[in-house]
Structure 1
Amino acid sequence: MEALRQPYRKALAHRGHVEGVTISAKDSRQPLCHYFGGLRYALPPVKRFCQARKLPPAYSYGTENQPGLCGGLAGVCPQPKFLTLSSGDDWTEDCFQCNIWVPLGEPPQDGWPVLFFIHGGFLQFGTPNTFSAAALLGEADFQAIIVAPAYRLGVFGFLLSSEIQQDVAGSNQPVGNQGFWDQRLALEWTCDNIGLFGGNPAQITISGYSAGAYSAFYQLAYDIHLPPEDSIIKRACIWSNSPAVQPKGPATAQTQFNQLLEALRIPISLSAAEKLAQLRALPQATLLSAATSIELHQFRPTSDGTFIQPTLFHSFDTGAFARRLAARNVHIMLGECRDEHNLYATWLPPPDNTTTSLRRRLLADYPQPIVDTLLHLYAPANTTPTPKTYPASTFGHIYADIQVHTTQRGLIQSLAAAGASHLLHRYRIEFRLNCASKTIPREWGVTHATDMYLWFWGNGEALEPAEKQAIRTALIEPWKRFVRGDVGDELGWGTNGPREMRTLMPDGSVRICRDELWDEAMRVWVALRGVGELEGDVSSKL
């Protein structure tokens, strides 16, 4: 759907003035929403790999005569290429901006509810600039402000080592998980400033897709452990992802750091300061190329004892997480697509179908005991002569199960077992819009990311009338009520118990279906939990 953009100025009280745009449909010239793009939520860190800085109280975006220009896009963190993404032309490590869509007209008395949306991309790539909420607000009447932050990815956002810890010792700065801390800064900025746009800071739903859903979960896990007066999140949408296993410990993070130094020919024998000085002096493309070449090439979260507690997954088993969630009354919408595996299979697949290659690829994401357990479950020993082989589809199915199908059901089971199933609103997507073929081959079916076109009302592409009716009834209307804060009968979700899912069927109808994958998912989940936590207490020194 082509759009028209007209300048739109807004006064933001103590934050000064900004100029965004009013977006209108080109064919009808119907105004859809106001948009502010590339709006800064934090200042860059003083040094690479350190924490970004909160905007000072006196920070102003611009004056009435010279407003801050915010009609463009957020910065894009350097990242590896995937499909049609990540050209490199617009990379910047100063990616601490967000894009905001605001409904037209006067806000309600308490302000519009807020949807804080985190983009996906395996935490290695992606940007909030690849989706549009204009039609969702303007055509589907989604009466909420949508905030989508950029954040640091891969090696820029998730590098951790004893050298970095030494570098910031005494500064009270957290080390590691900087991509998550970026998201948290953006969330805090939203809580502090969204009222200036007509939003209600007391009604913030955190949401995300894929790695964004993974992020949303960890933001929620952090938030519910804060004192109530510091908590921000009221609801959560976890779309096509879930926490898989306890994130790696500091020992694995240090191994990954050392592999990076070796790839860059930086001597391990150098002092911590000298190692970091060389890493910080490298061009971003050089650092990225080395990071994607090493054995542990997936830079993901670490159980650092600050943002992620080493006992998080144990709290699933004991019910402590569920009880804390219930005490805060945080409802969760979560679900999956039918054919998640087809897209997952394309993210850095093994070079061949041998079990050796499969194991090496999985070790880039998961600890060795977890990988060996997965191989035993999905690719057991066979009679094929060495090297043993497996079907080409195995990698995609393992990855989709551990990122979505199995682990999401494990989370559901742990919450339900502790009496928190009333907080869960499950869904399943078996319907595909025609416009999804713009980026995702039709033969992949209802695969991962095809439903982004559902949730965001075409995501900038035109919808057919029958498609609009189907997704409005199935998803958009109940989702609007969810973000508004409705629960129970008011929400109209229709499920009864943790094993039922609101299902958008292939013909566009809605059914409440019993989960047919549950038993197999529990078999895998129990096996993974049986491995236990892997690197001990992160309170030990790096």
Structure 2
Amino acid sequence: MFDNYARESYWRFRVPQRLPKDHRYGTATEPGKFTDGTRVCPQPPSSKRPDPSVIDEDCLQLNIWLPVGPAPKDGWPAQLVWIPRKQGISRRSELQSRSYQKLRTMGSEIGVGLDSREKSFFGSDLGNITVAGYSAGAYSSFQKLAHELFRVPEEKGIIIRVAMFSNSTDVTPKSLQDQQLQCDKLLTRLGINLALSDEDKLTSLRAVPHHKLVQVQNGIRIPELRVWADDTFYTADLMCKINNGEFAKRMKYRGIRLINGHCDSEHIMYRRWRTPQESYSAVYQRLLADSSPEATQKIMNHYCGSSKILPVGYSNWEDLFGRIYANIQVHHLQRGFHN
């Protein structure tokens, strides 16, 4: 285990802060203890639940695996930065000036950056860094790549290749207004007065135990917490840059390679994730949890048309939902992005 790669999160809903340059993970007389796994951030339950003893909000940590023996002269020939599938309680649209929408992606950003700065700790070849992930981790890998292409000067870029497994670019994010509606619902369920000032709302949110935050988030009508195009970390016209070839052009110019892949049966897993009831409106509302109203309506029109009836070839609405979700999360957008 490699300990914290950023400062401990004393303040919830805040952009992670880099460690000071003089930070040390131990000394010769009092070496650090890195024999356990990293802590797991609070998150909604899934089919594989972590032990409660390892759940902690102070979870900006890395697991680093090294070959046995001294590193080669030029460093280990390959370095893989793997972003996990779930990253827990994330950002909210409230108080966009404080950049809460960027917390999760900024956490990954600092983690990848630590790998490049602290190479002497584990003998890395900085000219051979791969950023990879599975499911939501693949989406985070894409966001890290996009940020580096459009927000980081070429001479400061560190990514050589990206691996995206079972996820992709997603559709155009929701607007701030859409996100604000979701934030207000969360505050209301927590009993926090919407008339409070922004600072008081934050103070109240930070006082809520993390297990209650997860419980309430899981029960609101729109439970998914997604990124929005702030045009700071996330480029506002990112999808246009993919469609007009600018994204690929920059990847080619910087020599960045991409590998992606998925399973044919992604829909079987996705139809189990917050499964909607058996109706058109239920599927629409479920997709609305992830996508903007405009994108959701276009998707439903594509599959169901104006009749709003179950299309031919699907056994029920649950089956339709799983396949739509798999297509927009993985199959169609991943292939379109690669092409």
Under a length normalisation based on structure 1, what TM-score does the superposition of the two structures give?
Answer: 0.59
Higher relative contact order (CA 8 A, sep 6+): 2
Distance in 2 of aligned mates of 1:391 and 1:374: 14
Structure 2 residue 113 is the aligned partner of structure 1 residue 185: no
Structure 2 match to 1:301: 227
Structure 1 match to 2:327: 401
Of residues 148, 168, 176, the one that matches 1:223 is 148
Structure 1 match to 2:18: 54
Confirm or deny: 8 A CA contact 2:91 2:100 kept in the other structure. Answer: no
Distance in 2 of aligned mates of 1:213 and 1:383: 33
Distance in 2 of aligned mates of 1:367 and 1:253: 9
Distance in 2 of aligned mates of 1:367 and 1:382: 19
Residue 90 of structure 1 aligns with an amino acid whose one-letter code is V
CA deviation digits over 1:403-435, x for unaligned, max 9?
11100111123xxxxxxxxxxxxxxxxxxxxxx
Structure 2 match to 1:158: 91
Structure 2 residue 80 is the aligned partner of structure 1 residue 115: yes
Confirm or deny: 8 A CA contact 1:38 1:99 kept in the other structure. Answer: yes
Structure 2 match to 1:514: none
Distance in 1 of aligned mates of 2:261 and 2:267: 14
Percent identity (aligned): 33
1:250-399 correspondence runs (5 A): 250-350=176-276, 352-380=277-305, 381=307, 390-399=316-325
Structure 1 match to 2:3: 39
Structure of larger gyration radius: 1
Residue 80 of structure 2 aligns with an amino acid whose one-letter code is L
Distance in 1 of aligned mates of 2:236 and 2:40: 31
1:396 shift after superposition: 1.0
Q: Secondary structure at the match of 1:102?
A: coil
Confirm or deny: 8 A CA contact 1:79 1:86 kept in the other structure. Answer: no
Confirm or deny: 8 A CA contact 1:195 1:201 kept in the other structure. Answer: no
Q: Secondary structure at the match of 2:258?
A: strand
1:46 shift after superposition: 4.2
Under a length normalisation based on structure 2, what TM-score does the superposition of the two structures give?
Answer: 0.93
1:111 shift after superposition: 0.6
1:373 shift after superposition: 1.8
Q: Secondary structure at the match of 1:101?
A: coil
RMSD: 1.7
Structure 2 match to 1:458: none
Q: Which runs of 4+ in 1 moved over 6 A?
A: none
Residue 4 of structure 2 aligns with an amino acid whose one-letter code is R
Q: Secondary structure at the match of 1:117?
A: strand
Q: Secondary structure at the match of 1:190?
A: helix
Distance in 2 of aligned mates of 1:203 and 1:383: 51
1:263 shift after superposition: 0.8
Confirm or deny: 8 A CA contact 1:208 1:238 kept in the other structure. Answer: yes
Deviates more, 1:79-88 or 1:353-362: 79-88
Distance in 2 of aligned mates of 1:38 and 1:159: 28
Of residues 192, 205, 224, the one that matches 2:130 is 205
CA deviation digits over 1:351-394, x for unaligned, max 9?
x211111111111011112212222223342668xxxx944311
1:192 shift after superposition: 0.5
Distance in 1 of aligned mates of 2:189 and 2:74: 54
Confirm or deny: 8 A CA contact 1:355 1:390 kept in the other structure. Answer: no
Residue 329 of structure 2 aligns with an amino acid whose one-letter code is Q
Confirm or deny: 8 A CA contact 2:6 2:16 kept in the other structure. Answer: yes
Q: Secondary structure at the match of 1:60?
A: coil
Deviates more, 1:299-308 or 1:83-92: 83-92
Structure 2 residue 33 is the aligned partner of structure 1 residue 69: yes
Question: What is the aligned length?
Answer: 332
CA deviation digits over 1:432-490, x for unaligned, max 9?
xxxxxxxxxxxxxxxxxxxxxxxxxxxxxxxxxxxxxxxxxxxxxxxxxxxxxxxxxxx
Residue 252 of structure 2 aligns with an amino acid whose one-letter code is A
Residue 157 of structure 1 aligns with an amino acid whose one-letter code is S
Structure 2 match to 1:449: none
Structure 1 match to 2:170: 244
Residue 149 of structure 2 aligns with an amino acid whose one-letter code is I
Distance in 2 of aligned mates of 1:40 and 1:412: 34
Distance in 1 of aligned mates of 2:211 and 2:7: 22
CA deviation digits over 1:90-141, x for unaligned, max 9?
2211101100110122322211120001111xxxxx3xxxxxxxxxxxxxxx
Residue 79 of structure 2 aligns with an amino acid whose one-letter code is V
Confirm or deny: 8 A CA contact 2:172 2:295 kept in the other structure. Answer: no
From the superposition, tell whether residues 326 and 117 of structure 1 become closer, same or farther in structure 2 (CA, over 3 Å): same
Of residues 136, 143, 161, the one that matches 1:235 is 161
Distance in 1 of aligned mates of 2:318 and 2:100: 39
Unaligned 5+ residue runs, structure 2? none
Distance in 2 of aligned mates of 1:230 and 1:383: 52
Distance in 1 of aligned mates of 2:247 and 2:82: 23
Distance in 1 of aligned mates of 2:183 and 2:102: 14
1:65 shift after superposition: 2.4
From the superposition, tell whether residues 329 and 345 of structure 1 become closer, same or farther in structure 2 (CA, over 3 Å): same
Residue 192 of structure 2 aligns with an amino acid whose one-letter code is I
Q: Secondary structure at the match of 1:39?
A: strand
Q: Secondary structure at the match of 1:54?
A: coil
Distance in 1 of aligned mates of 2:136 and 2:120: 28
Distance in 2 of aligned mates of 1:157 and 1:230: 27
Confirm or deny: 8 A CA contact 1:203 1:234 kept in the other structure. Answer: yes
Unaligned 5+ residue runs, structure 1? 1-36, 121-125, 127-151, 169-173, 414-542
Distance in 2 of aligned mates of 1:324 and 1:279: 40
Distance in 1 of aligned mates of 2:137 and 2:250: 22
